[in-house]
Amino acid sequence: MLRLYSGNDKKEIKTFLYMTILAIETSCDDTCVAIVEAKKNKSGQVNFKVLSNIVSSQVKLHAKYGGVYPALAKREHQKNLPIIVKKALKEAGKNIDLISVTAGPGLEPCLWTGINFATDLSKKLKKPIIAINHIEAHILVNFINQNQILKIKSEIFPAICLVVSGGHTQLILMKDVGKYQILGETRDDAAGECFDKTARILGLGYPGGPIISRLADKQGIDQSPVSDELKIDLPRPMISQENYDFSFSGLKTAVLYDFKSRTDKTRKSKEYIQKMALEIQQAIIDVLIKKTLKAIRDYGAKSVILGGGVTANKELRKQLQQSLDNQKIKMNLLAPEQVLCTDNALMTAIAGFFQSLKRKKWKNIKANANLKIDEKI
Ligand code: KG4
Ligand code: ZN
């Protein structure tokens, strides 16, 4: 039997055999709500059933700005949340036991919108509420497999997590669920931001990652030798540095300079755009893979775990696996299915499930735009 207590009287979870979690994620430009049911069977295995998982994308709205416009995103979240939560509750057809909500990192006005909504709902339904770290959620979404929570086995850890999104590029050493150490991160733009900004320079639309990766799809590209005139050599920033940090703003500038140096006719040509897309994608992949392999070797990792929108990139996944094979590094490669790489609330629910097992006290939740994975919420 499940016994969960309300946030106000700060009591703790006693037992858990069965619980329904409603999760809210509004850290950026997607309004996401999920409801999941977690059930423990006699052997202690936890089965997860997704009752509802809704992502309301604001992409079209932000496309004209070439990136996310926070005030607009906040307004959309405020408008969308009541509608989506109502729809999710209807789809689930269940009472909920716990609410989990993203507290950071992310855009502060957007985070507050989700937190305020979740807090009001928790008071109204008299259910506890729990704060979630968005980066941890991107990682923990890998711990659900065929509707079961992975048994946390020692074979998984230590793991190296590569979290790459529109806002973050981080390499994280994971020793267990809840035990993280940031090894390195970007010093300026995130890899996803680089995809988005270079796509904007090329006039391709937003978000840039999926557009560039589609254009860079080698099958669609003319494989005939490139004329000297169309050769593009972009830098691989920091690739040879003995650390786990990244930098992508120089890559963006190099794209801008190359673009500016071309004639109007070349800039608009399909051949140039495709070659440029391929080169941007490859430059980003090369750096991500080189640093990830270094971290794997240096820390004797048993697994590599991917998370964040950029890890939806098929070529990145393929080349990472190839590099592991080529270097005869045998390990688990955990990668979410593509729709779960980008922001969603199912990952927030899974993180909520893990938190609920250890979190004793429920407190008021505050947004923290710069929340780190190794920081207490
Ligand atoms: O994790 P996410 O949905 O939101 C953040 O937390 O930022 O990541 C969004 C980012 C965007 O920059 C988008 O361009 C990038 O992920 N992205 C991709 C792909 N799909 C999304 N980048 C490269 N290849 C993709 N297939
Ligand atoms: Zn994200």
User: Does residue 106 have its Cβ closer than 6 Å to ligand 1?
Assistant: no
Please indicate, yes or no, if residue 376 is contained in any of the structural domains: no
User: Is the preceding omega at residue 237 within 30 degrees of 0, hence cis?
Assistant: no
User: Does residue 166 have its Cβ closer than 6 Å to ligand 1?
Assistant: yes
CATH number, domain of 77, equals: 3.30.420.40
Residues 267 and 289 in one domain: yes
To the question of pTM greater than 0.85 for the whole model, the response is yes
Half-sphere exposure of 52 (CA within 13 A, CB side): 25
Residues 280 and 240 in one domain: yes
How does DSSP classify residue 240?
T
Compute, in angstroms, the gap from residue 120 CA to the centroid of ligand 1.
30
Identify the band that residue 8 occupies on the pLDDT scale cut at 50, 70 and 90. Answer: very low
Mutation test of ligand 1: which of 111, 310, 343, 370 has the most ligand atoms closer than 8 Å to its C-beta? 310
User: Which residue segment(s) compose the domain that 226 sits in?
Assistant: 155-336
Residues 111 and 239 in one domain: no
Compute, in angstroms, the gap from residue 135 CA to the centroid of ligand 2.
7
Residues 141 and 176 in one domain: no
Model confidence pLDDT, tens digit, residues 64-87: 777 778 889 999 999 999 999 999
CA distance 34 to 347: 9
Q: Is pLDDT above 50 for 10?
A: no
The number of folded domains in the chain is 2
**C-alpha to C-alpha distances, 89 to 125, 133, 322, nearest whole angstrom:** 12, 23, 43
Question: Which residues on neighbouring strands pair with residue 179, listed in sequence order?
Answer: 176
Residues 222 and 247 in one domain: yes
The bound ligand whose nearest atom lies closest to the alpha carbon of 309 is 1
Ligand 1 atom 10, closest CA: 166
Residues 6+ apart with CB under 8 A from 170: 135, 161, 162, 163, 164, 182, 184, 185, 186, 373
Model confidence pLDDT, tens digit, residues 201-233: 999 998 999 999 999 987 666 666 667 778 899
Please indicate, yes or no, if residue 377 is contained in any of the structural domains: no
Q: What is the pLDDT of residue 295?
A: 98
User: Does residue 208 have its Cβ closer than 6 Å to ligand 1?
Assistant: yes
Please indicate, yes or no, if residue 3 is contained in any of the structural domains: no
User: Does residue 128 have its Cβ closer than 6 Å to ligand 1?
Assistant: no
